[in-house]
């Protein structure tokens, strides 16, 4: 007998449904590709789980909107996470400005013997484009397989994990946020204490003075805390995060607003530094560390890659000398690896630079003389 059109349609629908079920529910976490994005299907929870990174954080207006860090516990002298030497490990990358804040603080306070640290490899390199898992297309911070594979980076010394993503999943099997650095890891409890750089530098500055070699250095003194907080707030919004708002903007209006705010803030810094050596007075503070990590990357990366080209930092006399002044503080130059920085930025954002071409210059010499000593007279 001849099937009616309704029966044919019903049969086709059932066949299609069967195929979809076999793909989705039988893959048990296998990689599935959609029309506009790629995702994992978590069979245990029946949820679509996307492996996220900063490039995904774009609002409907086309503006970059950074998400909050997820792990926010604190080290203290009387809490769950005690300030004990040898207990904690800091995971950082030379390429990441947020992570390098923490590395700078660790060096300035003289905490290398109390807190171990590991440098991950460049996030993504055109000639070495690696996934963090075989089940999806997420690209992220990875560890080299040997000390010789990636100069300046090293394998994970604690658990032998291949990526920062694996470390997050070791701390929380159901974690679905970004797999970012820095990571302050508790070797005793085998978990992430904190992954928010602004809070980690607070802890490094205040909680480890019993074991720090440079106890006289205080990057967050009580009498300056209000000023440091206020300064750090506008520096973060307009400069630290501002360069990302310029680079990751997907529409002209958000870019125009971000670039205006960025250069207004740089002008403000230039004016402040025309009158005093550091942002909050005569001594180095957390605010200076926060600003430095962006400025040191500005002419080499942000001016080109993030379209922050209205004016180079080295065209600001006070800012340029200020960068050199901080760079020449003992230990700070070792936190700056421009090869890692440039390879990461130019190689990890295909939507901005599809070919991953790394500019050859400008190769600025930050060890050259500066004029900031004039404020010591």
pLDDT tens digits, 85-130: 999 999 999 999 999 999 999 999 999 999 999 988 654 332 333 6
- Count of CB atoms within 10 A of residue 216's CB? 6
The length of the chain, given as a count of residues:
377
Alpha carbons within 13 A on the beta-carbon side of 361: 1
d(CA 163, CA 130): 10
Task: Tell me: is residue 141 an annotated ligand-binding position.
Answer: yes
pLDDT for the residue numbered 41: 31
Task: Tell me: is residue 197 an annotated ligand-binding position.
Answer: yes
Which domains are assigned to the chain?
Answer: 222-335 (1.20.1050.10)
Q: Mean of the pLDDT values across residues 316-324?
A: 99
pLDDT in tens, 147-201: 888 888 888 999 999 899 999 999 999 998 899 999 999 999 999 999 999 999 9
Q: What is the pTM for the complete model shown?
A: 0.81
Q: How far apart are the first and last CA of the chain?
A: 104
Q: Which of 244, 278, 322, 327 is catalytic?
A: 244
Is the bond into 79 cis (omega within 30 degrees of 0)?
A: no
Residue with the bigger pLDDT between 7 and 143: it is 143
Task: Tell me: is residue 59 an annotated ligand-binding position.
Answer: no
Task: Tell me: is residue 217 an annotated ligand-binding position.
Answer: no
Residue 244 a catalytic site member? yes
d(CA 116, CA 158): 11
- Give the least confident one: 8-12, 178-182, 311-315: 8-12
d(CA 170, CA 191): 7
């Amino acid at each position: 007998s001849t099937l009616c059109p309704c029966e044919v349609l019903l049969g086709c629908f059932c066949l299609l449904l069967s195929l979809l079920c076999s793909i989705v529910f039988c893959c048990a976490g296998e990689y599935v590709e959609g029309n506009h994005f790629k995702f994992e299907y978590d069979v245990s929870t029946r949820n679509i789980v996307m492996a996220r990174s900063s490039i995904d954080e774009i609002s409907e207006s086309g503006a970059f909107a950074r998400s909050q860090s997820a792990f926010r516990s604190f080290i203290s002298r009387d809490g769950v996470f005690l300030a004990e030497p040898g207990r904690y490990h800091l995971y950082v990358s030379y390429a990441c400005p947020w992570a390098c804040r923490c590395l700078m603080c660790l060096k300035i306070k003289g905490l290398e013997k109390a807190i171990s640290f590991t440098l991950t490899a460049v996030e993504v390199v055109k000639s070495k484009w690696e996934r963090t898992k075989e089940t999806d297309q997420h690209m992220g911070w990875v560890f080299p397989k040997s000390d010789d594979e990636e100069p300046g980076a090293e394998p994970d010394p604690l658990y032998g994990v291949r990526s920062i993503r694996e470390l997050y999943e070791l701390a929380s099997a159901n974690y679905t946020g970004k797999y970012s650095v820095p990571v302050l890891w508790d070797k005793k409890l085998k978990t992430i204490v904190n992954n928010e750089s602004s809070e980690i530098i607070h802890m490094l500055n205040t909680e480890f003075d019993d074991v720090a070699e440079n106890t006289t250095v205080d990057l967050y003194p009580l009498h300056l805390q209000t000023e440091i907080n206020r300064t750090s707030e506008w520096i973060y919004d307009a400069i630290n995060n501002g360069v990302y708002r310029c680079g990751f903007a997907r529409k002209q209006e958000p870019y125009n607003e971000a670039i205006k705010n960025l250069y207004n803030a740089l002008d403000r810094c230039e004016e402040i530094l025309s009158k005093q050596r550091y942002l909050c007075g005569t001594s180095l503070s957390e605010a200076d560390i926060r600003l430095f990590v962006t400025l040191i990357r500005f002419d080499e990366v942000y001016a080109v890659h993030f379209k922050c080209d209205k004016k180079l930092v080295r065209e600001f006399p006070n800012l340029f000398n200020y960068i050199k002044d901080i760079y020449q503080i003992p230990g700070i130059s070792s936190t700056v690896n421009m090869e890692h920085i440039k390879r990461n930025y130019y190689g990890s954002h295909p939507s901005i630079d599809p070919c991953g071409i790394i500019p050859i210059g400008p190769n600025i010499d930050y060890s050259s003389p500066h004029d900031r000593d004039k404020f010591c007279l």
